């Protein structure tokens, strides 16, 4: 897997969720089409917000408990989708994974991190994957898909 | 011993031979998990702590019931039971404010194992013992800001992207012009008219899709410079004007970042690395800017197209060396390149013990008003030079009248070979004081140059000499070409 691609509007909804949750962290799931072969880059088609279940310190933590993930996976499967990763926000911290993120991350998933500073989501959103040895997160390219321009439309 | 199906979650299937379900034997959940890890050791580090217990963010269900509600590891299994392993997802910002802001290089997440494609892409780097996998990871984790995507920034950015620098920030706000293409190798003919950063991003990501290009489509100013530079490891100065050059230097010094400097003039270039922690800064070399208009820009003086290629590639070389921590950086040394003589000279630069910015006696603790410092009138204040002007439309009318003004062209002969206004008298700006006798005070005079800057100075000179009816052609011959006579080329 070398990177992730996401529609501009979906990325916009992640930013909006991050701003709405500020100063708490927001979190949610990335959904991709269920395909036999992984696409390269991974194609995210939608997101599903999740409630941040961190019991202490929602400003610094997010938690999506296992039963909720399991339920979300089942819902996604009914739509022919898989949970391909997660997004969360870093209020007043850069869009880079923390040591806590790495320690709690899973391989294969894509992790998007959006930094919110003073209530405003700031670019760029970071995209990361865990290396299979669990030693480190590495950043992967994030490409934003824009809707095709309507031909002949005056600009 | 009962045989149990264990459902493996999607992210871990790669460690279980790609399978979604694995059949293992065990009397309890604990035994089944141990058997699973014995059969597929790669699962171990994801499921178990070093002590061999289930990690806290791994949930195990037996027939849809969480074992934490049952007997945990000791939950007994019956034949036909289905065990599901389900990850919980957690994360968060660093708990101590600022802990990762900015990350030290050693803490920076580095690229993980390279893919086969990346190994092929970077193989000529990986073969160098001085780079190798570790060095290539450093490049992938690095962030470089290139200020200006002109003659210098274009080759620099191309080589940084090719080398696999993970994030390249670009600062520019111009659109691609045809006259850029003689040296700005980032851009193609089809890009003319397009915002430079759009074209640059497409080109760099086409060259290396693994590179993240961050566009800062704005003029770098005192108000935004610190925020813009802050996330980057190295700053590359590809600016074409003194206010921005001093701004880049000052912001780099204040933030403690190395500034890879390059500049060009006609056939000559300069390169150095200013890193105030280890050597001099640009102000140590040039405490004060030159008087405005003493040093013409490339737009006025011309530049050999390949010159910024050489200088920009030298800047890219120094940047890559800094990121890798190899070789002798060009700190405390200024390389002077002369393309006509094809010579490289090196000057030793000392830190100025009285530098207002980087010495122990520094008096300047923040950014200042750079246009004022450099004596440049604020942008878009047309009457700032305080000379009478005439628009191309007004001039057309007067030229058709019975009393047309005398046109004086203060450009260089090379420029007149590109375009000129019929009947104009050529007096290059530098020769004006000696040749003023050729002008009559009886007629009204309109002075022009390429875009109105030099001619404004010439008008002021003439006014100081006692001429009264002198005006400056607003926007120069390029504005005339655009609005009055499209048959004339602009340049």
Q: Are A96 and A114 in contact (CB under 8 A)?
A: no
Please check whether residue B91 touches A, CB under 8 A. Answer: yes
Identify the DSSP state of B195.
Answer: B
Task: Say yes or no for a CB contact (<8 Å) between A139 and B166.
Answer: yes
Task: Say yes or no for a CB contact (<8 Å) between A132 and B42.
Answer: yes
pLDDT number for residue B282: 93
Please check whether residue B344 touches A, CB under 8 A. Answer: no
Q: Are B308 and B274 in contact (CB under 8 A)?
A: no
Set out the domains of chain B in order of their start, with CATH numbers: 3-87 (3.10.20.30), 117-373 (3.40.50.720), 382-483 (3.40.250.10)
Q: What's the CA gap between A25 and B457, in Å, rounded?
A: 58
Mean pLDDT, to the nearest integer, of A13-27? Answer: 90
pLDDT number for residue A153: 47
- The 10s digit of each residue's pLDDT in B418-444 is 889 999 999 988 888 888 888 888 889
* Positions of B marked catalytic: 298, 449
* Residue ranges of chain B with per-residue pLDDT less than 50: 96-111, 378-384
- The 10s digit of each residue's pLDDT in A40-90 is 788 898 999 888 888 777 778 888 888 888 888 888 888 888 999 999 999
A151 part of a folded domain: no
CATH number of domain containing A48: 3.40.140.10
Calculated CA dihedral for residues B152, B154, B157, B160, nearest 10 degrees: -80
- Could you tell me the pLDDT band of residue A97, with boundaries at 50, 70 and 90? confident
On the 0-12 / 13-18 / 19+ scale of CB atoms within 10 A, A106 is buried
A128 part of a folded domain: yes
Total domains, chain A: 1
A88-101 burial code (b ≥16 CB/10 A, e <16): bbbbbbbbbbbebb
**Does the interface predicted TM-score (ipTM) exceed 0.90?**
no
A29 part of a folded domain: yes
Task: Say yes or no for a CB contact (<8 Å) between A98 and B111.
Answer: no
A73 part of a folded domain: yes
Query: Does A124 have pLDDT greater than 90?
Result: no
Q: What is the pTM of this model?
A: 0.50
Partnered with residue B333 across adjacent β-strands are B348
Q: Which run of H or of E encompasses B301?
A: helix B298-301
pLDDT number for residue B111: 41
A33 part of a folded domain: yes
Task: Say yes or no for a CB contact (<8 Å) between A100 and B91.
Answer: yes
A77 part of a folded domain: yes
A154 part of a folded domain: no
Alpha helices in B177-294 (DSSP H): 196-207, 225-229, 242-255, 282-285
- The residue range of the domain holding A64 is 4-144
- In terms of CA atoms, which chain B residue is nearest residue A61? B92
Q: What's the CA gap between A142 and A44, in Å, rounded?
A: 11
Q: How far is A66 from chain B (nearest CA, A)?
A: 4
Partnered with residue A129 across adjacent β-strands are A138
Q: Are B282 and B107 in contact (CB under 8 A)?
A: no
Cα B2 from chain centre: 63
Q: What's the CA gap between B344 and A133, in Å, rounded?
A: 48
């Amino acid at each position: 897997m070398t990177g992730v691609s996401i529609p501009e509007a979906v990325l916009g909804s992640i930013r909006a969720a991050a701003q709405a949750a500020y100063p708490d962290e927001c979190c949610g799931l990335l959904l991709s089409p269920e395909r036999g072969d992984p696409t390269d880059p991974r194609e995210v088609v939608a997101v599903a917000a999740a409630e941040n279940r961190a019991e202490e310190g929602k400003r610094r933590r997010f938690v999506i408990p296992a039963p909720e993930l399991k339920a979300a996976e089942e819902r996604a499967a009914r739509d022919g989708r898989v949970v391909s990763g997660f997004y969360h926000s870093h209020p007043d911290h850069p869009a880079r994974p923390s040591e806590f993120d790495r320690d709690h991350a899973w391989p294969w998933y894509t992790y998007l991190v959006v930094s919110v500073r003073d209530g405003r989501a700031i670019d760029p959103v970071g995209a990361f994957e865990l290396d299979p040895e669990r030693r480190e997160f590495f950043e992967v390219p994030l490409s934003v898909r824009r809707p095709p321009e309507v031909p002949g439309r005056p600009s | 011993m009962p045989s149990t199906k264990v459902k493996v979650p999607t992210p871990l299937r790669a460690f279980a031979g790609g399978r979604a379900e694995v059949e293992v034997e065990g009397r309890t959940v604990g035994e089944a998990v141990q058997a699973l890890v014995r059969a597929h050791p790669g699962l171990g580090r994801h499921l178990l702590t070093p002590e061999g217990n289930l990690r806290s963010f791994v949930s195990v269900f037996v027939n849809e019931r969480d074992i934490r509600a049952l007997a945990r590891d000791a939950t007994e299994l019956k034949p036909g039971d289905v065990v599901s392993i389900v990850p919980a997802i957690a994360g968060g910002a660093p708990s101590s404010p600022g802990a990762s802001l900015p990350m030290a290089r050693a803490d920076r997440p580095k690229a993980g194992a390279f893919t086969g494609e990346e190994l092929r892409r970077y193989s000529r780097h990986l073969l160098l013992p001085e780079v190798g996998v570790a060095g290539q990871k450093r490049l992938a984790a690095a962030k470089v800001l290139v200020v200006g995507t002109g003659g210098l920034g274009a080759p620099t950015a191309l080589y940084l992207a090719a080398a696999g620098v993970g994030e390249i920030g670009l600062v520019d706000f111009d659109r691609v012009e045809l006259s850029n293409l003689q040296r700005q190798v980032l851009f193609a003919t089809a890009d003319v008219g397009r915002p430079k950063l759009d074209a640059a991003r497409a080109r760099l990501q086409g060259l290396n899709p693994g590179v993240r290009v961050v566009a800062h489509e704005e003029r770098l100013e005192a108000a935004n410079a610190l925020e813009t530079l802050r996330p980057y490891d190295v700053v590359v100065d590809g600016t074409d004007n003194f206010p921005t050059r001093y701004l880049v230097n000052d912001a780099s010094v204040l933030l403690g970042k190395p500034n890879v400097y390059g500049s060009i003039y006609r056939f000559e270039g300069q390169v150095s690395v200013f890193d105030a922690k280890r050597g001099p800064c640009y102000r140590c070399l040039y405490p004060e800017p030159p008087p405005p208009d003493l040093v013409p820009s490339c737009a006025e003086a011309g530049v050999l197209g390949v010159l910024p290629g050489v200088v920009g590639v030298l800047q890219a070389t120094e940047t890559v060396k800094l990121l890798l921590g190899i070789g002798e950086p060009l700190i405390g040394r200024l390389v002077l390149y002369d393309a006509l003589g094809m010579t490289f000279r090196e000057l030793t630069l000392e830190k100025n013990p009285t530098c207002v910015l980087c010495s122990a006696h520094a008096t300047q603790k923040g950014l200042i008003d750079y246009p004022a410092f450099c004596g440049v009138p604020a942008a878009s204040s047309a009457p700032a030079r305080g000379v009478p002007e005439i628009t191309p439309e007004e001039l057309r009318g007067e030229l058709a009248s019975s009393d047309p003004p005398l046109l004086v062209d203060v450009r260089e002969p090379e420029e007149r070979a590109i375009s000129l206004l019929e009947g104009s008298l050529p007096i290059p700006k530098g020769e004006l004081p000696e040749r003023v006798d050729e002008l009559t005070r009886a007629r009204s005079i309109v002075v022009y140059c390429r875009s109105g800057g030099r001619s404004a100075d010439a008008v002021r000179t003439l006014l100081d000499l006692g001429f009264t009816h002198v005006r400056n052609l607003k926007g120069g011959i390029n504005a005339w070409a655009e609005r009055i006579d499209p048959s004339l080329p602009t340049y």
